Homo-oligomer: A and B are copies of this chain.
């Protein structure tokens, strides 16, 4: 194969996973990666734990520094370089060196767009105040941590009860703040069902978080130094020394749109299972791109690190001349709030209903370990299955230590199109310090048969 020049737009975890794979497959090709920020390959998911102090330094979140890519892998990574324009016709990008304030043109044979996603920031009065943070970049995480150190906030308000909201509620509570969490929905964790999220809410309240559901942000008020003072909702005014906004992310697709590349679900870049965009020679992977959902059997947008990594690996192999496919996602996700582990995969009951599946759903209560074992804890498992076939469509788990990762067993079962009886039949591991004789996952399946 003739040597090619590859340009990667965005040198975070996704882009650099692809670039690294490409380098292993094609030792001679020229690979250039442009990153408008100052960091490469960092673990965005670790930011709440960095702010908590569990992760001591932000350096710990950086998997590999630019100089390592340059020196060890011969990948020409350029941080503080923003790609301004993708020129499809001439196979070029226009790039700005942000430090030197210079623009230049770089040509490519194949282009990978790995521009990631950004936090959705509500367009309300006061949103630009000091002390309001989102946490989609390491820079922003570090800013939030610095702000806490400098200002010693006592009263924290979190807007949004999703993954970031829960993780930051834990973090700020652990740092001794008075934490209020506001969500406009009637439940936390909107991708899960309310019978499950109600038990999360109950636990969070018992731990001291003030929850305000069915409450909508209206605007923010600031003091004279433009520092956040209050969060005003449609119901009341909350005093706030710091605000965390975690209401979701949107794919970064401005460049792709201007280049005429087709968007898809949730306005993410449309890709096929090879990670090809609508334009030949242009690929996309990570938070900016779509995925195929194995149960929904349609395109979705799942901006998670696991998906980004898998997509990027597939993109790297295919750009290098390989021919593999990324089969798709289940929307598997996990988080915790203090001692409560929370996980989901596949369809929630709500989603099954919205997608007109004929389904049955059931939630069971069991224990994480043998009921007589001293460190055992409560666990709830909810399964959603197709009505006649019994095929597993989705699952949700909340419970104490050891509960969450059980979602992987169900993710494997869904991937393999197993039904309820198959789950019951599975030879899962048992010993009193690990599980009841029937794993709670199987107890749920049995209850539905």
Contact = CB atoms under 8 A, between A and B. Distances in A.
A192 B160 CA distance: 48
Contacts of A61: 372
Nearest to A170: B433
A371 to B, nearest CB: 9
Interface stretch (A101-109, A204-212, A274-282, A403-411): A403-411
A195 interface: no
B326 A372 contact: no
A332 B411 contact: no
B402 A437 contact: no
B416 A415 contact: yes
Interface in A340-365: 341, 343, 345
A400 B304 CA distance: 26
A439 interface: yes
A334 interface: yes
Contact of A310 (B332, B416, B425, B434): B425
A416 B405 contact: no
A438 B328 CA distance: 15
A255 interface: no
B425 A326 contact: yes
B46 A439 contact: no
Given A405-B402, A437-B309, A372 B429 contact: no
30 contacts: A43-B372, A45-B432, A46-B432, A49-B432, A54-B373, A294-B427, A305-B430, A306-B427, A306-B429, A306-B430, A309-B438, A329-B427, A331-B427, A332-B428, A334-B430, A335-B431, A336-B431, A336-B433, A345-B427, A404-B434, A405-B405, A405-B406, A405-B434, A405-B435, A408-B439, A409-B412, A412-B412, A412-B418, A415-B425, A415-B426
Given A306-B438, A334-B429, A408-B439, 6 more contacts: A45-B370, A163-B431, A334-B434, A336-B434, A411-B426, A412-B416
Interface of A: 13, 43, 45-46, 49, 54-55, 60-61, 163, 294, 304-307, 309-310, 326-336, 341, 343, 345, 370, 372-374, 402, 404-409, 411-413, 415-416, 418, 422, 424-435, 437-439, 441
